[in-house]
Amino acid sequence: MTTTDSDASGSTAMEEAITSTDPVTLAKVWAMGGMTAVLAGLVAGLLVSLERLDLEGAGIFGSGDELFQFWSAHRVALVLLGVLPMLIALGTTIVPRQCGANTLLFPRAAALACWTWLIGAGMTVVGFLVDGGLGTPDGGGQRQATALTLMGILLVVGGLMVAIMCILSTIFSGRAAGMGLGDIPYLSWTTLVAGTIWLGMLPVLAANAVLAYVDLRGRPAIRFGAEDAIWEQLSWVFTHPAIYLLALPVLGIALDAISSATGSEPANRGVLLIATAAFGFLSFGAYAQSFFDTPGTPIMEEAIYVLAAFAIVPVALVVLGGVLDLLRRGGSGLGPRPPASVVLSVIAVLLTVAGTVLGALRVVAPWDLLETSVTGAHFTLIVGAAIIGAVAGLNHWGQELLGSPGSPGMILLGGLAASLGVVLIGAADAVSGFLGQADFTGVDLATAGYPGSATAALNSISTLGAVAFLVAGLIWAVAGVKHLAAEPGGTG
């Protein structure tokens, strides 16, 4: 027997929120926490971009170590603290309804997961802010603060894993009678695939963090906890192929949102289910850890790594074909002004396809792009697609989440600004990477791999993109506050 909220008469709003097992309440915490982390990550990314405008020395940050802390915080905030929680918000409340379940299974475990993640996220942020983070190239960080960051990430990973297990249990065991796994809507299907792969990867990430933490607490660190080695052990989750998994639920959001708006269904549902499952399988990235490379055989040059990078491109194109087919057959039902969720979800799919193409180019050995800013451009395209798609999903199901339709005009405006920012950052950093600029640019010409003045102009374009992306985040934040403040059934 599962339960939701007990009688909380006499309790304050804060007490009700903290003790609640209501999926909608938990989804609000996940969504608001995730969007706050996205904003923090975008601020960190803008500061790093501004520093990169002048590589003659540290202008904004005091040293290369400080720059590295913000550079790595940008990626941690967007992935583990931002996009994943936003997707879990949808999985917590929308997926059970799509599957015909009465509620999310194991609601108390889901509540524990939510607050564990939130506490871990707070510890992680504090660890970065007090000169910790995930180590520094020159060992200039604070050991205790770095340990705090690692402990925060462990809590974050634990919360995410428990939340995913609750969602997957609901899909497997809480479905309506007679509904097979092949019958569930696309968001639920892609959440099932992505969640299964995440449950295979997150324990590996936790193990990496434990190794680093235990060694870091020694005197002195032997290998895993050395400050210049911690990031390399965790960086695999922020690049190909693991990063693609963030975009998988976005593909499901797009298919469901367009189907709902057009009133049509894809003609090739079976093909799309197989394609999205293959997309998830190709996204398993726990093996791609350069820190454990065998001498002479780097994992990023092995066949499995290169093959996955190229194989995921046609798979993404198949999903794009399904989206375009839906628009072709049901486009007349959209009218002259398509819903914001449809526009943004289509943009997210296009950015995902562009990201897979750039990911394939990145692994071409003769171009030697793995350590260049092409890796950063690839991250921006995929994570940007995931953020835009997640916002599209929150807008599409906003009525069910919060009881009011929200502000679709502001959501669309923010989405267009975010799309502009992602394109500017991705294009500029990709070209800079082909010119030789390093992924982590340091604070001087030598560590940046600086090839000449052409990169300076491209860095300016990338900074403009970072500004546009941050503006989009602020617009979404205002829209979210208005949505939360709106009366149920109102217009927000």
pLDDT level of residue 292 (50, 70, 90 thresholds): confident
3-state secondary structure of 297: strand
- pLDDT, tens only, 181-200: 888 999 999 999 999 999 99
* Same-domain status, 349 and 454: yes
Per-residue model confidence (pLDDT) at position 7: 44
14 domain residue, yes or no: no
Give how many domains the chain has, as a whole number: 2
Do residues 276 and 424 share a domain?
Answer: yes
Same domain as 161, residue 61? yes
pLDDT at 485: 64
Q: Give the tokens for residue 168.
A: 């997957």
Question: Which residue blocks in 79-106 are alpha helix, DSSP H?
Answer: 84-98
Q: Are residues 230 and 268 in the same domain?
A: no
Is the per-residue pLDDT at 442 higher than 90? no
Q: Which amino acid is present at 300? A: M
- What pLDDT was estimated at residue 117? 96
Residue positions counted in the chain: 492
24-65 pLDDT, tens digit per residue, is 889 889 999 999 999 999 999 999 999 888 877 767 887 888
**pLDDT score, position 241:** 94
Rounded to a whole number of angstroms, the distance between the first and last alpha carbons of the chain is: 36
CATH at residue 408: 1.20.210.10
| pLDDT score at 486 | 61
Residues 261 and 135 in one domain: no
Report if residue 450 sits inside a domain. Answer: yes
Is 218 part of a structural domain of the chain? Answer: yes
Quick one: 203 and 244 in the same domain?
A: no
Mean pLDDT for all residues in the chain: 88
- 276 with 199, same domain: the answer is no
34 is a domain residue: yes
**Distances in whole angstroms, Cα of residue 284 to Cα of each of 194, 199, 288, 312:** 9, 10, 9, 12
Average pLDDT over residues 169-181: 88
Domain boundary among 205, 222, 238: 238
> Is 145 part of any domain?
yes
d(CA 247, CA 193): 12
Task: For residues 261 and 136, state if they share a domain.
Answer: no
Q: Both 233 and 250 in a single domain?
A: no
Report d(CA 438, CA 136) in Å as an integer.
16
Give the residue numbers spanning the domain of 365: 240-286+296-492
In a domain, 391, yes or no: yes
Q: Is residue 309 in a domain? A: yes
Q: Give residue for tokens 């994992």.
A: 299
The 3-state DSSP composition of the chain as helix, strand, coil percent (nearest 5) reads 75, 0, 25
Query: Each residue of 96-141: pLDDT tens digit?
Result: 999 988 788 899 999 999 999 999 999 999 999 998 888 888 777 7
pTM, rounded to two decimals: 0.93
Identify whether the C-beta of residue 194 lies closer than 8 Å to the C-beta of residue 91: no
User: Residue 225: pLDDT band by 50, 70, 90 thresholds?
Assistant: confident
Q: What percentage of residues in the chain have a pLDDT greater than 90? A: 58
Residues 439 and 101: their CA atoms lie apart, in Å, by 45
Residue 335 CB contacts under 8 Å (≥ 6 apart), including other chains = none
Q: Cis peptide leading into 488, omega within 30 of 0?
A: no
State the Cα–Cα distance between residues 458 and 55, nearest whole angstrom: 13
Report residue 79 as tokens: 């992935």
Shared-domain flag, residues 255 and 228 = no
pLDDT of 3: 45
The pLDDT, as a whole number, for residue 4 is: 46
**Residues 276-281: what's their mean pLDDT?**
96
Q: In sequence order, what E strands does 46-100 have?
A: none
pLDDT by residue (tens digit) across 73-99? Answer: 999 999 999 999 999 999 999 999 999
Residue 9 pLDDT exceeds 80: no
**DSSP string of 338-404?**
--HHHHHHHHHHHHHHHHHHHHHHHT-GGG--TTBHHHHHHHHHHHHHHHHHHHHHHHHTHHHHHSS
Omega cis (within 30) before 298 = no
> Does residue 244 sit in the same domain as residue 233?
no
Identify whether residues 168 and 274 lie together within a single domain. Answer: no
- In a domain, residue 159? The reply is yes
